[in-house]
């Protein structure tokens, strides 16, 4: 009997201990809860992602309050180290750096202002792809500095990278219904070293060099763009494609430039630039395009070896107004083909081509008069003293770079001699 009582007492004690341990376990915070709490206080630790799956980053001065994992802050910078969606709000005096390996990262700007005093505002050093979204109904600003400091693991002094207010070594997509202003005070505004896609965005860019750059390709759809650039408005070493949207470009160089090809499938494009649209192949299928240029309006220039330059217009409403002097509305180092659309040209020289030109359709007006064939006007340069252009004017072969020189009209100096060197009086810089 005594033995049974002892067993009952032992069992009761064990039960009480178990209940006590269970209660303690229920009240103890989980590891993720503890880390989240610490991060919300200090803003400097990686934390567990919130219930929505988005990491929230509230910026203030040189620090940030982070709720969620994959990001940390320090030395005035926010560093994103893993895949995910990150929503930024507030003001940061520093940079947002993406160092996420091959993973995809989405930055959502929700009333965000990022101003860097030593580098890019957004610098995607490593990522599979980056999407930059301006949240609906918000106003956002990204600003860099006129002088970059290349002294950390996220910069390259030899390559001088980064070199844009928004810089990505991977594919970059910019989108969203909010407003985004980018101030590229160093060189470029927005740059991807792969493909830059702008879709459904509202962006204003001011830049010391190119406003938008996609080294491989630039693709624009359904976007409102206001671009002011001391270099090119839109630049690619490969292709540029405009499908739709409203685009205004003021550029000291080319408004739209792609070494390989420029294709316009639609949209409203207003250009005020040194040159309007330039590429080895320039194709306009649709769109409402207005060009005011001081050099060439549309220029199919030899930028790719082995490809015959061609300017082709298949549709659209195109108005080209050229400045005085040796300027060409539509210029091709190869061929010109017009199959459709309505083209209104005001210029001293409407067409200049070195291959063949075909007017197969559409309506073309030059200085108010409708034309039925394309006449080669060879740059429109005034004849030089003592004999004018000469019978071989316009047939001088290109140099080793495929360039004929901007001031073609100066070939006519001294009569039939078309070999006058470019430093002769009256020539202009390229």
Q: What is the mean pLDDT of the chain?
A: 82
For residues 220 and 198, the answer to whether their CB atoms sit within 8 Å is: yes
Pairing, β 212-214 against β 188-192: parallel
pLDDT of amino acid 425: 35
Q: Give just the sign of the alpha carbon dihedral 379, 380, 385, 390.
A: positive
DSSP H/E element including 74: strand 71-74
Quote the CA–CA distance of 153 and 79 in Å, as a whole number.
12
Burial 14-28 (b: 16+ CB within 10 A, else e): eeeeeeeeeeeeeee
Using left for φ > 0, alpha for ψ between -120 and 50, and beta otherwise, residue 179 falls in beta
Q: What are phi and psi of 2, to 5 degrees?
A: -65, -35
Number of Cβ within a 10 Å radius of residue 165: 31
DSSP H/E element including 348: none
Token pair, residue 173, equals: 């997509």
Collapsed DSSP state (helix, strand, coil) of residue 286: coil
pLDDT in tens, 117-143: 999 999 999 999 999 999 999 999 999
Local confidence band at 52 (pLDDT 50, 70, 90 cut-offs):
low
Q: At residue 66, does pLDDT exceed 90? A: yes
pLDDT of amino acid 26: 34
Tell me the percentage of the chain whose pLDDT exceeds 90.
74
pLDDT in tens, 363-422: 999 999 999 999 997 543 333 333 333 333 233 333 333 333 333 333 332 333 333 333
What residue ranges do the domains of the chain occupy?
Answer: 54-160+177-191+204-212
Token pair, residue 276, equals: 């309007």
Give the DSSP letter of residue 429: -
Longest dimension (CA), the chain: 138
For residues 380 and 330, the answer to whether their CB atoms sit within 8 Å is: no
pLDDT of amino acid 410: 32
Quote the CA–CA distance of 425 and 292 in Å, as a whole number.
27
Local confidence band at 326 (pLDDT 50, 70, 90 cut-offs):
confident
pLDDT in tens, 284-299: 999 999 999 999 999 9
- Cβ-proximal residues to 25 (8 Å cutoff; 6+ apart), any chain: none
pLDDT of amino acid 325: 83
Identify the CA nearest to 214 among candidates 265, 172, 155, 160.
172
pLDDT of amino acid 377: 78
Burial 105-126 (b: 16+ CB within 10 A, else e): bbbbbbbbbbbbebbbbbbbbb
pLDDT of amino acid 53: 83
For residues 142 and 168, the answer to whether their CB atoms sit within 8 Å is: no
Report whether the peptide linkage leading into residue 299 is cis, meaning its omega lies within 30 degrees of zero. Answer: no
pLDDT of amino acid 378: 56
Looking at 144-267, which runs of residues are DSSP E strands? 164-168, 171-175, 179-184, 188-192, 195-199, 202-207, 212-214, 217-221, 223-229, 234-236, 239-242, 245-264
pLDDT in tens, 3-49: 444 444 444 544 544 444 344 333 333 333 322 333 343 334 344 44
pLDDT in tens, 72-110: 999 899 999 999 999 999 999 999 999 999 999 999 999
Q: At residue 309, does pLDDT exceed 90? A: yes
Number of Cβ within a 10 Å radius of residue 31: 9
Quote the CA–CA distance of 159 and 33 in Å, as a whole number.
43
pLDDT in tens, 191-221: 999 999 999 999 999 999 999 999 999 999 9
Quote the CA–CA distance of 104 and 84 in Å, as a whole number.
7
pLDDT in tens, 239-267: 999 999 999 999 999 999 999 999 999 99
């Amino acid at each position: 009997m005594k033995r049974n009582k002892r067993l009952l007492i032992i069992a009761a004690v064990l039960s009480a201990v178990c209940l006590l341990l269970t209660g303690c376990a229920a009240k103890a915070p989980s590891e993720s809860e503890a880390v989240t709490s610490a991060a919300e206080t200090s803003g400097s630790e990686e934390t567990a992602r919130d219930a929505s799956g988005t990491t929230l980053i509230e910026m203030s001065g040189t620090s940030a309050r982070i709720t969620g994992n994959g990001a940390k802050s320090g030395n005035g910078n926010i560093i994103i180290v893993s895949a995910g969606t990150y929503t930024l709000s507030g003001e940061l005096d520093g940079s947002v750096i993406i160092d996420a390996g091959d993973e995809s990262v989405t930055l959502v700007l929700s009333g965000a202002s990022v101003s860097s005093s030593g580098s890019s505002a957004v610098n995607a050093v490593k990522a599979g792809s980056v999407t930059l979204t301006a949240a609906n109904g918000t106003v956002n600003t990204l600003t860099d500095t006129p002088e970059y400091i290349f002294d950390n693991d996220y910069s390259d002094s030899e390559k001088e990278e980064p070199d844009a207010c928004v810089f990505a070594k991977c594919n970059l997509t910019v989108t969203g219904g909010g407003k985004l202003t980018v101030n590229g005070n160093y060189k470029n505004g927005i740059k991807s070293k792969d493909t830059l896609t702008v879709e459904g965005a509202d962006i204003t860019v001011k830049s010391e060099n190119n406003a938008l750059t996609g080294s491989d390709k630039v693709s624009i759809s359904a976007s409102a763009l206001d671009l002011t650039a001391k270099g090119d408005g839109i630049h690619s070493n490969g292709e540029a494609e405009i499908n739709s949207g409203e685009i205004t470009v003021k550029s000291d160089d080319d408004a739209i430039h792609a070494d390989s090809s420029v294709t316009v499938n639609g949209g409203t494009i207003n250009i005020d630039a040194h040159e309007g649209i330039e590429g080895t192949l320039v194709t306009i299928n649709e769109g409402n395009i207005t060009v005011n240029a001081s050099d060439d309006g549309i220029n199919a220039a030899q930028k790719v070896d082995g490809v015959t330059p061609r300017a082709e217009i298949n549709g659209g409403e195109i108005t080209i107004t050229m400045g005085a002097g040796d300027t060409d509305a539509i210029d091709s180092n190869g061929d010109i083909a017009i199959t459709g659309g309505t083209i209104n040209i005001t210029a001293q020289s409407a067409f200049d081509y070195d291959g063949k030109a075909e007017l197969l359709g559409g309506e073309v007006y030059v200085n108010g008069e409708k034309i039925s064939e394309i006449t080669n006007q060879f740059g429109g340069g005034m004849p030089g003293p003592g004999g004018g252009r000469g019978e071989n004017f316009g047939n001088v072969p290109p140099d080793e770079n495929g360039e004929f020189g901007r001031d073609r009209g100066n070939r006519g100096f001294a009569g039939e001699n078309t070999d006058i060197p470019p430093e002769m009086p009256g020539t202009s810089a390229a």
